[in-house]
Structures are given as structure tokens and as C-alpha cells.
Structure 1
């Protein structure tokens, strides 16, 4: 089967809470009858964190955000018409996100304690001090799974020169290593997820050739990366690129 399955997860896509602090990281959380798996247990003093590049989010780009929402909906609607996709529950990421859900991930989900936050953000700012903003182009569709095989993600690929992205990623990895936190996945493929499923099986149902035939797979999206965002619990820190 022509399938692309790459490990992936995202803090913004993993915000479902477990009330019982003694539950494991794999506790199930029901949402309209669907069981979503929480990546980390809820532990007082532990802050779930994620580093990423946002697409469009400020007020001056609301029209651009609406355009991307339309593209995401077209992609999801097209995939839902593929035979057997009705076997899985496919949810648009914007459905469960108060803020703009679309981003290029720069880290795995990780946890910081309160005392680490200030030092971590300061170190990350230093690591990214000379990194520059860059243009990116998104086109073509892929299916990714997280490393626990508990979720599938439908995503648009970044197709232009990834060198600026990888330079930033290396800086992020350097910071993560200094704090003994997990580096990003090997052989990264930059992408923006538009939908998720509480199963790791979407890729076994939908082939790459089926995705390639969807009209929305040919649409190009152009943008500019201007800053790196660090989400730590309910806090967010922005690091402006030069």
C-alpha cells in the first residue's frame, strides 16, 4: 500500500484533560462517544509544552485564516468521500481549538516544571537569536501517525526548500538537548495538520494515490514564517525571527 506514516503529535491537538491525576498518560477521554488518548498524565506542577511556527493568527490576517479554513474543509470533505473512510472519526483541528490550530511543529510534546520555564525560554531565545524568517509553500497531502499509534493526522506538506526550517529545528533541538528533553523526530518532513482521528488506522484505509487524486491536493498555499511560538501550559511566548 502506498502509505506515508510518520511519527507526529502536537500539544495543541492533545489538550483533553483527565480529572483523575492518578491515571496514566494513556487514559481515555470521551468526546461525543469517541475516546481520545491523552499523551501525558495530569500532574500538578507539570506543564505540557510544544514549540511551533504558526501560520496565520493575527487580526490583520483573518481573511487569510478564513481562506485556509476553506482549504482545510475541502481537503477533509474530499477524504471523507473515499470508500471506507466512514470507519474512522475524522475531526477538523479547528473544531477543538480556540486559537489558530494550524502550525509547523518544531518539537515533540514535552513537559516542563514551573521552575524550568523561565530558563528554558531564555535559552531558546539565545539559540534562535540569529535565525531568519522564511517563505514556505504548502501543497500535497499525507497521513501521519503519532508515536503511540493512537492518532492519525491528515496534513498538507511543505514542498519548497526546507533549509531555513531545518536550521531553526536544529537550534530548537540544541536547546532541548541541554535540558535533557527529547529532540524532534529523525528525518523530519515539515507539514501542517488539518484534521485528526482518534485511531492510528487512517493510513491503512486511505492510500497515497487516493490522496494525490483529490482536487485539493493540487492547491498551493504560500506564507511567511515570522516567529517561533512556545506554548507552555496556558502560557505562550513568541520569539521573533530576524
Structure 2
């Protein structure tokens, strides 16, 4: 499932490869070690947050259709306001990995391994289509997401394979055995699959009122704590 939502991604400074951006604080003092759910909308972390743990995930940005998706987010929240309190996902992207934990000393080698694994991969154009409801593995959150059009599943799976290989090399969990590629749009605390599924038809009609949701896959990004890495595809 989709990794933990993060604050808006800072613009990466790299144009080629995996060059890390400048930081205003010491690298190893990334975050507080205390997990206070009140600070992030009641969300519960999937793993203990300790100093030196860098939450990391790999993804394709959904920048090309972000305005359409943001409009839909607002409309869907209004539609369901009397039934459920939904929150917007701040960062709209399609995940190519689970959220994993790296130690600070692993970051450089890990990101260089990703660069090498992805350097021969080709980009392609795709789009997003049908809505679906998901929960995270712990059933502590429910998500409304829009799925990649099935016509592009094979190409996205091909792009996923080198990412999975890097995860395996670092003894980290690979992506799901049967991946369902999607962009998570809205979330709420708790398991509300049944409720959202009952509203899915109306929500889909709302989404269909928008233009085609184009998703050009021209680059893959890696978010590691507050560091961003860009890998351009051929």
C-alpha cells in the first residue's frame, strides 16, 4: 500500500542522477524521535520512529494531472462530508515501493544502486482511470485512490522490477506480489472500506467529469527522509 503521506515534496535540485539537495540542519538530526499522532492527523506509524531511521520510498510523480486530482479531492470531501471526515493526500504519486527504513550510512549506496538499476529503463505515457478503496496493512487507515489504466500495467511492472531487485539486495521488503498501481487521493483514520465502496459509483462519476488523467512516466523519484533523488528515464 501506499507509503505514509509526507509533507509536500521539496523540489529536487538534481537534473541528472541522484544528487542530494542542500539542507539547513545536520544530516543525522532529521526528525524528532517521538511519534505523536496528534501532529499528523491521527495517523499511526507503521514502524517505530527512531533517530537514525530514514523513511524511504520510490515513486512516480503525478504532476501532470495534479490540478485535476486536487479539484476531485475537494469535490469528494464535500460529497462525503456528512458520512466521513476525509483528508487530502498532500503528495500525489504512484508508489513503486513500500515505505522502508534506511540508516543514514546506507543512503548514498542505496540511491546509487537505484540509479544504476534504472539507467537502462525507458519512459512511457500512461493514464489513470478507475477509483478503488484500499487500507494499509495494519487496517489503521483507509484510502481512496485512482488506479493506473490496466493497459499500462505491464510497462509499470517492468519499471518496478529493478526497484524490487535493489530492495532485495538491501534485504528490504519488495513491493506487493500482485501490485495494484495507483495514486492515493484521500484518507481517513480507521477501516472504512465498506462505507467508501458503497459510495464508489458516485465518486467515479465525479472523477469522470474531469478530463483524461494523463500520467507521463519520464522519471522515477526516491524520497528518503527530507532528501529527494531524481532518476530520469530514457
Shorter-chain TM-score tier:
0.7 to 0.9
The residue aligned with 1:188 is 179
| 2:221–2:231 contact (8 Å) kept in structure 1 | yes
Tell me, yes or no, if structure 1 residue 85 matches structure 2 residue 83: yes
C-alpha deviation, 1:48, in angstroms = 0.9
The within-5 A match list for 1:54-203 is 54-56=61-63, 65-78=66-79, 80=80, 85-86=83-84, 89-94=85-90, 101-159=91-149, 160-199=151-190, 201-203=191-193
Change (3 A) 1:131 1:170: same
Secondary structure of residue in 2 paired with 1:67: helix
C-alpha deviation, 1:150, in angstroms = 0.9
Q: Scaled by the length of structure 1, what TM-score is found?
A: 0.78
C-alpha deviation, 1:126, in angstroms = 1.2
C-alpha deviation, 1:14, in angstroms = 8.8
- What whole-Å deviation, never above 9, does each CA across 1:64-101 have from its counterpart, x for those lacking one? 533331133223333x16xx733xx310113xxxxxx1
Tell me, yes or no, if structure 1 residue 51 matches structure 2 residue 58: yes
| 1:14–1:39 contact (8 Å) kept in structure 2 | no
- Distance, in Å, in 1 between the alignment partners of 2:196 and 2:5 is 24
**Is there any run of 5+ residues in structure 2 with no aligned partner, and where?**
9-29
- Distance, in Å, in 1 between the alignment partners of 2:197 and 2:70 is 24
C-alpha deviation, 1:236, in angstroms = 0.6
Q: Scaled by the length of structure 2, what TM-score is found?
A: 0.80
The residue aligned with 2:226 is 234
- Distance, in Å, in 2 between the alignment partners of 1:139 and 1:12 is 22
| 1:104–1:192 contact (8 Å) kept in structure 2 | yes
Runs of 4+ in 1 over 6 A off after TM superposition: none
Secondary structure of residue in 2 paired with 1:189: coil
CA RMSD of the aligned region, Å?
A: 2.4
Change (3 A) 1:191 1:44: same
C-alpha deviation, 1:39, in angstroms = 2.1
Change (3 A) 1:45 1:179: same
Identify which of structures 1 and 2 has the higher relative contact order when contacts are C-alpha pairs closer than 8 Å and 6+ apart: 2
| 1:28–1:38 contact (8 Å) kept in structure 2 | no
The residue aligned with 2:14 is none
Deviates more, 1:216-225 or 1:165-174: 216-225
Change (3 A) 1:18 1:145: farther
C-alpha deviation, 1:41, in angstroms = 2.1
